[in-house]
Structure 1
Amino acid sequence: MSVYIFLLTTFAVLVGYLALKWRRALQYWQNLGIPCEEPHFLMGSLSGVQTSRTFCDVWVDYYNKFRGSGPFAGFYWFQRPGVLVLDTSLAKLILIKEFNKFTDRGFYHNTEDDPLSGQLFLLDGHKWKSMRHKLSSTFTSGKMKHMFPTVVRVGHEFIEVFGKTLDRSSIVEVKDILARFGTDVIGTCAFGIECSSLKDPEAEFRVMGRRAIFEHRHGPLAIAFINSFPNLARKLHVKITIQEAEDFFLRIVKETVALREQNNIRRNDFMDQLIDLKNSPLTKSKTGENVSLTIEEIAAQAFVFFGAGFETSSTTMAFALYELAQHQDIQDLARKECQEVIAKCNGELTYECMKDLVYLDQVISETLRLYTVLPVLNRECLEDFVVPGYPEYVIKRGMPILIPCGAMHRDENLYANPNTFDPENFSAERVKQRDSVEWLPFGEGPRNCIGMRFGQMQTRIGLAFLLKNFKFSVCDQTTIPMVYSKKTFLISSDSGIFLKVERV
């Protein structure tokens, strides 16, 4: 009986200790007098996300509520005290000037049990630095030029399929067909396979890619646990990638690599660059580190290229068409430029003449401001950091940091008439007057988006071909104002983007 009482007492003490520690964690900012919202006991400052509000709602509401109160507001990333940045000067310190103190994103990954989580976006510390160095040569302008004809070829097929879709109905849901275009582009460049999702919306690559991006392996409770206790989750061998996606993408990569190596096939695409890294004769760097890639690492990088490439670019193109359909004068200017540039290049878009699509670039940049696909940048503090000029504002080691760039992009102190679509915000004169951290769709500093050039190239090609051939306008099925999906971390329309389309 005494043993039973001892065990019961020990259990009660342990539960009490954990409850006290939990309560103290959720009172951290209040006790310091730093402005914050009262957190939910489980979700922290993310209460209601994916049910009653979107992730973007969280960042925008929090930013608008506390901006002007200090350099950051207290935030609770589930049960972990963190900070939500309110000041662009602090954002610049974190992303650029003091980058070495904030190199990590702090996202969960488990390369041992979950190989696809070993992607560049999720890696931290030395693993990130090493992988970034290995991949930096694959996204140079020279490599983009090599991949350009492949994207153009898919672009021509896209316009053909788009025209056939228009023959069936003048009302087109552009979000899905643009996602299929993005899938075929990334599938071809990153995996070296013909996905055929443009012609077959239910093609295996499109279906599995959609599942990998939008389906979750775990429910809200498990996600809260993983984000609150990542080290414990790794020790418990917790995986985040759905098993079917892992099996599919690993199989595709292994088959592609084997086919190319056995038959000496070169396609001048992303997969070629990864295979070159795998077979690099420089097996050791000056520091003794292995610089070649494993098959699992190749699969992880191709996987993130797929997820980041098709979703962000296709979403940006869809939102650009959505705004152009509401602003015919802007659409006419963009179309005129596209037609003149393509005509000047003998009827075919070339890599060299893309630089002449100046106004189209402004349209894309303004779309990314209003519809920042990744509306928050995540970092983790590596050592205690006192915000200059604010001795009471201390970011402690291990704290998650959120920079709400989507909310900042709609701040009237940074952009006049911030909710109005105006490509002149990105005229050469205005860009020169603006600090680089006031426009962050690709991040900034050493950990900015490595695939930015490719994403911009794909988006330019897709929009240039569409505007050259078609006119877009709103219809009864167009959702105005836009309603966002609550299911995804990224910005996405909830029910598609329906537009009226006519041939030019």
Structure 2
Amino acid sequence: MGVEVWLFVAALVLAAWSYSRRRHSYWSSRGIPSPPALPFLGHIHNMLSIFHFRWVYFDEVYHKYGGATLCGLYELFRPVLMIGDPDILKHICIKDFDHFVERRPFPAEKESLMNEMLINKYGDEWKALRSAMSPTFTSGKLRGMFPLICDKADSLVSFTLSAASKQPYVDMKENFGRFTMDTIASCAFGIECNSFRDKKPEFAKWASDFFDFSFVRLIKFTLFNISPKLFNDLGIKMGTFSVEFFQRVAEETIAARKAGQKRNDFLDLLLDAQAGHNLPTTAHVSAASHTQSTTDDSAATDNLKNNSQYSNSENKNISTTSKQVLTDRSIVAQSVMFLIAGFDTTASTLAFSSFLLAKNPRHQQRLREELQQIIQEHGDITYQGIMEAKFLNACLMETLRVYPPGTTGERICTKTYKIPGTELIVHPGDLVYFPIWSLHHDSRYFPNPEEFLPDRFLPENKDNITSFTHMPFGMGPRNCIAMRFALMEAKVALAKLLLKVELHLKSDFQEVRLAKSPIILTPEGGVHLVIKPLATNIKK
């Protein structure tokens, strides 16, 4: 190879390096701190990896590079702003939500059913779908589902006791997965999965597959995040066969409903909305969607007020639009989303909660005594009793703080925006990160953050929690629409279980191993606990 060729190659390398260096000076030129970036890659190798935990890297950025306030990152050459300041987050999620309406879609090929799901909808279509789905999760609707959830929780207890009588320990992650799948399928669509009777429950297997990220699938996921257009142009498939499985199930169920079956559940409500019946008003959208932002968040009242202002100005034609977007395909998509998304998140939260209670027997006994008091007052586990169980709620909220299902949040800027208190301008299309894990584990907001201390979330202590430092379900109009359902489901399961058994750590299982999924926080290899039947004279 001649000297000229070497010089040409060297010139190309120098030009490429200079280009990369210039693109990676976006944040420094604006006075925003940023960790060292690899040429061309930026920080994406740390953001999406199956070799280490994503939130561990974000936590390093949070503490070392200004992420607790503002910090700049790069997905290849795309600048991303990490925001860890609770006051700024309140503006972005609530007060100035109209500037950050969108979030990054979940990867799906062009013809995939996933493109019809609420999580992948934007603008008026998102508003209309949110409006149509919100009535499913009102207090009245949840109260109607309560007996069915109790039946499934009773099956959970019987199954767990049976397993404990045959083996020295029980995998509670697996058991809670059976429970959540049976509960969601039954409450939402009248489908009986029979997870407690099947040795290898098919529904739970397919739902787990959705969040199982192999190396190849992670590469596809990364490509979608880098360039959705290239992802679709290349015809790449994510291989989400679980979506296809649940699509067939939902289509069969919808056909049966249209043939005359009726259960007044999630599916029936969407079919009624499609037909133009019982469509919610814009006022209802605000109230149903946003009073539930976080049960112990002192900013709840402000959330409702600010979201109402947004709703009144932006959602004037939701009822009309609902009829247009709720096609049969759209209804199938929302059904599949609810089944898949609600399965592993709630099962993992319950598994983490059972582990923490086993590790902290004092709190476990205290919770049991509260539940026994409810039985004495109400005669059984009732909807009102569960809603009044303050320590039960506190235990779940603390579990969600220690192990948040989503370790980060994202929003996409839709209008040019000046970050409050700074001169920094964010432009349409710019992406912002919320370091949820780091906020939940910041000792400034939660002293002794690695300790399981449920008292933090008791009503008398809620004023000690800084708003927007506890966000397990997200905040604002794009928070988790099924939050209240998931919490009620988890409360019933824990209550029924702790009234019948004692939870103990297995001798060689003192800490939970976490899976390296880039999507949700979940235990790897299960949660193995020793289950001992509880001798008690109190009914149920």
Same fold at TM > 0.5: yes
Q: Is the deviation greater in 401-410 or in 285-294?
A: 285-294
Q: Which residues of structure 2 form unaligned runs of 5+?
A: 1-7, 280-316, 535-540
Please tell me whether residue 273 in structure 1 is matched to residue 302 in structure 2.
Answer: no
Please tell me whether residue 437 in structure 1 is matched to residue 461 in structure 2.
Answer: no
| Structure 1 segment 90-169 matched on structure 2, within 5 A | 90-108=88-106, 112-169=110-167
Q: Tell me which residue corresponds to 1:394.
A: 425
Q: Deviations over 1:459-495 (max 9, x none)?
A: 0001001111110121223142x33111342111222
- SS of the residue corresponding to residue 433 of structure 2 reads strand
In structure 2, do the counterparts of structure 1 residues 252 and 362 end up closer, same or farther at CA, with 3 Å as the change threshold? same
Q: CA deviation at 1:287?
A: 5.6
Q: CA deviation at 1:312?
A: 1.5
Q: Deviations over 1:177-215 (max 9, x none)?
A: 111111111122233211112222422212211112325
2:513 aligned partner, one-letter code = V
Give the Cα separation in 2 of the matches to 1:46 and 1:490. Answer: 18
Give the Cα separation in 1 of the matches to 2:118 and 2:516. Answer: 26
Give the Cα separation in 2 of the matches to 1:288 and 1:47. Answer: 41
Residue 338 of structure 2: which of 305, 323, 329 is its match? 305
Q: Is the deviation greater in 83-92 or in 264-273?
A: 264-273
In structure 2, do the counterparts of structure 1 residues 16 and 189 end up closer, same or farther at CA, with 3 Å as the change threshold? farther
Please tell me whether residue 29 in structure 1 is matched to residue 62 in structure 2.
Answer: no
In structure 2, do the counterparts of structure 1 residues 218 and 162 end up closer, same or farther at CA, with 3 Å as the change threshold? same
Residue 341 of structure 1: which of 361, 374, 386 is its match? 374
Please tell me whether residue 360 in structure 1 is matched to residue 356 in structure 2.
Answer: no
In structure 2, do the counterparts of structure 1 residues 97 and 238 end up closer, same or farther at CA, with 3 Å as the change threshold? farther
Q: Is the 8 A contact 1:79 1:228 kept in 2?
A: no
Q: Tell me which residue corresponds to 1:52.
A: 51
In structure 2, do the counterparts of structure 1 residues 420 and 70 end up closer, same or farther at CA, with 3 Å as the change threshold? closer
Q: Tell me which residue corresponds to 1:428.
A: 459
Give the Cα separation in 1 of the matches to 2:322 and 2:270. Answer: 17
Q: Is the 8 A contact 1:114 1:241 kept in 2?
A: no
In structure 2, do the counterparts of structure 1 residues 184 and 108 end up closer, same or farther at CA, with 3 Å as the change threshold? closer
Q: Tell me which residue corresponds to 1:495.
A: 525
Q: CA deviation at 1:321?
A: 1.1
Q: Is the 8 A contact 2:272 2:278 kept in 1?
A: no
1:483 aligned partner, one-letter code = R
Give the Cα separation in 2 of the matches to 1:33 and 1:285. Answer: 42
Q: Is the deviation greater in 417-426 or in 193-202?
A: 193-202
Give the Cα separation in 1 of the matches to 2:411 and 2:193. Answer: 35
Q: Deviations over 1:331-387 (max 9, x none)?
A: 0010111122134332x3222221221111110011111111111111111123222
In structure 2, do the counterparts of structure 1 residues 236 and 276 end up closer, same or farther at CA, with 3 Å as the change threshold? farther
In structure 2, do the counterparts of structure 1 residues 43 and 113 end up closer, same or farther at CA, with 3 Å as the change threshold? farther
TM-score, normalised relative to structure 1: 0.89
Give the Cα separation in 1 of the matches to 2:45 and 2:370. Answer: 46
1:501 aligned partner, one-letter code = I
- SS of the residue corresponding to residue 290 of structure 1 reads helix
Give the Cα separation in 1 of the matches to 2:13 and 2:105. Answer: 28
Q: CA deviation at 1:325?
A: 0.9
Please tell me whether residue 408 in structure 1 is matched to residue 407 in structure 2.
Answer: no
Q: Tell me which residue corresponds to 2:329.
A: 296
In structure 2, do the counterparts of structure 1 residues 305 and 58 end up closer, same or farther at CA, with 3 Å as the change threshold? farther
- SS of the residue corresponding to residue 73 of structure 1 reads strand
Q: Is the 8 A contact 1:106 1:124 kept in 2?
A: no
In structure 2, do the counterparts of structure 1 residues 293 and 249 end up closer, same or farther at CA, with 3 Å as the change threshold? same
Q: Deviations over 1:22-68 (max 9, x none)?
A: 6644442244342112234565324254333112223222212234x
Q: Deviations over 1:376-428 (max 9, x none)?
A: 1111111232222221x332321111101121011111111111111110111
In structure 2, do the counterparts of structure 1 residues 108 and 182 end up closer, same or farther at CA, with 3 Å as the change threshold? closer
In structure 2, do the counterparts of structure 1 residues 390 and 268 end up closer, same or farther at CA, with 3 Å as the change threshold? same
In structure 2, do the counterparts of structure 1 residues 246 and 108 end up closer, same or farther at CA, with 3 Å as the change threshold? closer
Q: Deviations over 1:218-239 (max 9, x none)?
A: 5444332211222443455555
| Structure 1 segment 432-471 matched on structure 2, within 5 A | 432-471=463-502
Q: Is the deviation greater in 444-453 or in 69-78?
A: 69-78
Q: Is the 8 A contact 2:445 2:466 kept in 1?
A: no
Q: Tell me which residue corresponds to 1:4.
A: none
Q: Is the deviation greater in 335-344 or in 273-282?
A: 273-282
Give the Cα separation in 2 of the matches to 1:358 and 1:192. Answer: 31
Q: Tell me which residue corresponds to 1:485.
A: 515
Q: Deviations over 1:77-113 (max 9, x none)?
A: 3442111112111111110111000011122455851
Give the Cα separation in 2 of the matches to 1:260 and 1:330. Answer: 45
Aligned residues: 487
- SS of the residue corresponding to residue 74 of structure 1 reads strand
Q: Tell me which residue corresponds to 2:295.
A: none
TM-score, normalised relative to structure 2: 0.83
Q: Is the 8 A contact 2:504 2:530 kept in 1?
A: yes
2:506 aligned partner, one-letter code = C
- SS of the residue corresponding to residue 185 of structure 2 reads helix
Give the Cα separation in 1 of the matches to 2:422 and 2:386. Answer: 46
Q: CA deviation at 1:274?
A: 2.2
Measured on the aligned residues, the alpha-carbon RMSD in Å equals: 2.8
Give the Cα separation in 2 of the matches to 1:483 and 1:204. Answer: 25
In structure 2, do the counterparts of structure 1 residues 139 and 19 end up closer, same or farther at CA, with 3 Å as the change threshold? farther
Residue 352 of structure 2: which of 300, 308, 319 is its match? 319
- SS of the residue corresponding to residue 410 of structure 2 reads strand
Q: Tell me which residue corresponds to 2:404.
A: 372
Identity score, percent: 29
Give the Cα separation in 2 of the matches to 1:487 and 1:350. Answer: 36
Q: CA deviation at 1:442?
A: 1.1
